[in-house]
Structure 1
Amino acid sequence: MSVTFGIYIGCSSCCIAVNKDGKFEVVANAAGDRVTPAVVAFHDVEVVTGISAKQGIIRHGTNTVQNVLRVVGTVEDEGMCPSNSSCPPNWENGQARYSVQRGEKMVQVSAEEVLTHIFSLLKEIASAHTSEPELPLVIAVPAWSSEGTIMAVKKAAKKATFTVLATVSQPAAAVLAYALTDDNKRNMQVVVLHCGGTTVVGSVVEVAGGLVTVKESITSSTVAGDSLTSVLVQHFAKEFYTKYKGDPLENRRSRRKLYNAAENCKHVLSTMGTAQVYVESLWEGVDFSTTLSRARFDGIVTATLTAFLQSAKEAVQRCGLTENQIQKVILTGGSAKIPRLQQLVGDAFPQAEFLCSVPPDEVLAAGASTEAALLVLGSENSECVFSRGTPTHSRQSLNLALPSPIPTSCSVVIYEAEEATKQPQEESILVQVDVTSLTSDSKLLKADFHLKSDGSLHVALQEPEAKINRTFIIEAGRS
């Protein structure tokens, strides 16, 4: 089987998974981390991406770009980028750009170019896991992404030499990661709560007959992972002032140091009972050291975590459902690793099975790699509709993945043979149907087959995105 890749790209981080032999694995970057900061820093003669760029924000903040996904593909400032950014975007000719110092010159860098640097880093990680020149990729994008954002993301990935098969929204990717589409006999309602660094997205996904439908998505920028960090910053600043009568928030450098320490503390307490916090020379040469327990952390952030649930509850209400009608709950995003949040979600949806075997910040990349494997598998293999000995008056349905990249037309060949083959003999072909007017959003052809008692085969082909609905009959004795 071909090796395929899935990437989740968000505002604050990104993640890549490889799919081999039908199994996914989230792979680590050079630093050994499986989640990479979506941060790019421009220096005099080099561009630094990922963890190194994030670590250098204190010294190189005005040349360091964060949250690029918020603005890429937009034509004007929509108030989506945090106002406290040290390197804010500006819009020129309908495109977001950043002013960065490179040597003695101030240069303009497009948001798309920044995004390409992030994909280039991910491409280096991917190349270490295959010897093939092509890197088939599906990208999981946030549910709030506009068409402009999605187009820009795909373009940046292609510039980094990925072969982009498709994009998939984050709620659908979460469902694919847990293989919920494998059960085509049972309908289920699934809540996907994404807790990212800058947004919280609550979605309701219906899985019916193996098909995924995102029924509703509610995005909130009011609370997110950054909100939790900010609450901790205020807590530590107050503690510092009590001890030393100084305000570490009075200048940008001290504020950034404390923010980094609070963010690290938050991640440590996701898995440990206590966290040690130490910041060297936080304010006027004074060091700051403290210890925070998980119980104390829960008390500090519970009100904020409770607000995380509002988007999911609103999405459920808009679908005309109640919390007790939700069968599955999936959490995604780095903040979703917090035990207290998981407890609150479990209490909010008491009848639902909580799916947590995949780390929340790796779920979306895993689901995207699963989608990539399905698309490649579908484009390379034939499907057996009716085997020898099948009685007449039988029915069968298949979902046929389209070749990639998505063509404007394709052919469906129905043939009789002892074994499946990519190149059937001409005399064994019953019919070849040309399907035209496919769009870039097309993914699957649904084929329904009805073998009637008179030996005739009735076939219906459907593709909803291009509004294709074709039926035809292969008479008995045709072969």
Structure 2
Amino acid sequence: MSCGRFCFLVPFLAALLVAGEEKVDGPVIGIDLGTTFSCVGIVAPHGLVEIIPGPSGQRLLPSQVAFEEDGTVLVGEAATSAGASQRIFDVKRLLGRSFKDTALQRDIKNFPFKVVADSDGRAAVSITVKGKAVVKRPEEISSLLLAQLKQRASEHLGREVLHAVISVPAFFDDAMRTAVKVAAAGAKLEVLRIINEPTAAALAYGHGGHGPSTAREILLVYDLGGGTCDVSILQREADGLKVLASSGDPHLGGRLAERLASHGDGALERLRIEAEKAKRRLSSVPQVAVKLEGFANGKDLSETLTRAQFEKLNDDLFQRTLEPVKTALKDSGLAKSDVNTVILAGGSARIPKVQQLLSEFFDGKENLGRRTALTRSINPDEVVAHGAALQAAALSVQGSGQELRLIDVTPLSLGIQTAGGFMTTVIKRNTPLPAENMMIFSTHKDNQESATVKVFQGERLMAKNNHLMGSFQIKGISPAPRGVPQIQVLFKVDVNGLVAVEATDSGSGKGEVLKVASELSHERIEEMIQESESLEKEDQKDFARAEAKMALKLFIRSLHHAAEMALEDDASTFLAAANEGADWLAANADAEAEEIHEKREELEGNVPELPTAKAASAAEVET
């Protein structure tokens, strides 16, 4: 709650719900909407997953769209082979992001196309069509990719596909997930479920004999591709999967393209395509030749790259990918020896040097017990779509009949600001989804008829240091003495990670609902987690100071209350102590907790014993 409006009383109810989802009558496809490549899968009647190829037989669709100046639109492979000057790639990085986002501003410096702010202040792309500037939102561009994947599936099945499960990075926030749904709607697809990419990879690993049959297993999903590294630790049990922790690094890659660019001022998008091809080939051959005709000033680019050169060029980036692994282990409270299986996902996870570093990190063991430490049982490029297809089948009456129980987690704690400026957490970080928790709060002032709810996201003890997600007012509270009304505040986070907050006055029945859309990027979430750890001591100091101030203010209020009930002589003593305390607080705003406690003890020693039945409650304090 906003400072001074509501005060914390007691936790009321905490419940984690696993809601059953109604199945649809018709095919449901699983889509991996990737940064570099995308693909689509479906579970066939015989129970095996099929990754559906395009007309040329390629199962991966390049996540690129090209716009010609005459209005022609080219999608996927056609976009990569065209000589279009308006080729858009990495659009996934723009979904649901504010144009002013600091990390986005760093990203767009590497784009050869123009990124602008749309009418809502969101990131968009500016292109030229028939001589006029046209703004294309990332949802529009992504919908073209999704439509292409939908067409593949529809032609493969011989009927139109209307429903899908789409995977997203674990740290996609509310705004980004909503943008994915908007993009799907543009492709005339209804999203039945958004599934986190690591969870999808873990599902794929356990299907069709790829993984061991076990009642309990700790899985670590290492997803490296498209310039990002995502790591999640999951616990597999007999009845489903539970995400224990997630971490990641959203800014990796591009080093090879930079190396090639040093040969001249050529077209960046052509370089990126060739660099991507070279990187993939070097995973299976010791050297590759890179050639580009008319690269710079009419001159051709020709260079031979060895795997050793590539590994040396990217060694620091490869080492950085181990940091999310360490963070996820720390957050989950596990040691690396607790991990039974490491699942590789993403095209870059096939790089031999990356696999070597991971194997060495897990003590160089290729086998942990009877289980393989690094599993490559499914193509890393397709493993996420494979898992999404399995989840899709569980949501269709035509599916394989396999019921899947998935439990993902919240990336950051969710809560409200209470009296004293404290962050009162309602749903903790890494809580399994869907999650639901309710707490009861009360008013600070007598006959207060409205209050403001401020919703925050983060791990810091004081609300001001966390991310403000949104606020709303609840009006029509039944007039009553302070501390008497009961305001029920309910947080709900659905299986897709979308947040809703409800506040209801139990007396009048009046309430409000807020659909919260976070604008935090993957990078900012990671920064906030690191800040909460590095500033823990400072936060504890601020928290102790705020608690001490609250205790002194409670005592001052008790003195005023005692003065109203006491005889004249005692009343004067109580009022004098109350005024002295208030004046001291005003003059010592930056006092440390110990000094504040000492002042309170001094005042307590100068007055008669307070009538305990009339003492103020901490639940009613305002700062």
TM-score, with length taken from structure 2: 0.55
Alignment partners' CA distance in 2, 1:286 and 1:94: 41
Instruction: Report deviation, 1:220.
Output: 0.8
> Separation in 1 of the partners of 2:273 and 2:390?
34
Corresponding residue for residue 164 of structure 1: 191
Q: Which structure has the higher relative contact order (CA within 8 Å, separation 6+)?
A: 2
Decide whether the 8 Å contact of 2:240 with 2:405 is kept in 1: no
Partner residue in 2 for 1:117: 144
CA offset at residue 112 of structure 1? Answer: 1.5
Identify the residue that residue 304 of structure 1 maps to in structure 2: 317
Question: What is the SS of the residue equivalent to 2:128?
Answer: strand
Contact 1:40 1:48 (8 Å CA) reproduced: yes
SS at 1:376's partner residue? coil
Contact 1:184 1:210 in 2 (8 A): no
Work out the CA distance in 2 between the residues paired with 1:185 and 1:289: 52
Q: How does 1:281-430 map to 2 (within 5 A)?
A: 281-349=294-362, 350=365, 351=368, 353-377=373-397
**Cα offsets for 1:277-315 (capped at 9, x unmatched):** 222233333333333333443343333222222211221
Shift of 1:3: 4.2
Matched, 1:35 2:60: yes
Among residues 28, 35, 40, which one is paired with 1:16 in the alignment?
Answer: 40
The answer to whether the 8 A contact 1:77-1:91 is kept is no
Q: Please, which moves more after superposition, 142-151 or 281-290?
A: 281-290
Q: Which runs of 5+ in 1 are unaligned?
A: 238-246, 384-397, 402-436, 444-479
2:280 aligns with 267
Q: What's 1:220 paired with?
A: 249
**SS of match in other structure, 2:301:** strand
Q: Is the 8 A contact 1:269 1:275 kept in 2?
A: yes
Q: Could you tell me how far apart the structure 1 residues matched to 2:493 and 2:48 are?
A: 27
Whichever residue aligns with residue 384 of structure 2, its letter is: L
Once residues 212 and 275 of structure 2 are traced to their aligned partners in structure 1, the CA distance between those partners, rounded to angstroms, is: 42
1:102 aligns with 2:129: yes
Q: Structure 1 residues 95 and 223, CA, compared in 2 at 3 Å: closer, same or farther?
A: closer
Equivalent position SS for 1:15: strand
1:46 equivalent in structure 2: 72
Q: CA deviation at 1:321?
A: 1.3
Which runs of no fewer than 5 residues in structure 2 stay unpaired?
Answer: 1-24, 407-489, 497-623
Aligned CA RMSD, in angstroms, stands at 3.0
What aligned pairs does 1:50-199 form with structure 2 within 5 A after superposition? 50-56=76-82, 59-61=83-85, 63-78=86-101, 79-80=103-104, 81-87=107-113, 88-179=115-206, 186-199=215-228
Residues 441 and 318 of structure 1: CA distance in aligned 2, closer, same or farther (over 3 Å): closer
Given that residues 216 and 315 in structure 1 are in contact (C-alpha distance below 8 angstroms), is that contact kept between their aligned partners in structure 2? yes
Who wins on radius of gyration, i.e. which is larger? 2
- SS of the equivalent of 1:129 reads helix
Residues 1:209 and 2:222 aligned together: no
Cα drift, residue 142 of structure 1 = 1.1
TM-score (norm 1): 0.70
Distance change in 2, residues 1:299/1:375 (3 Å): same
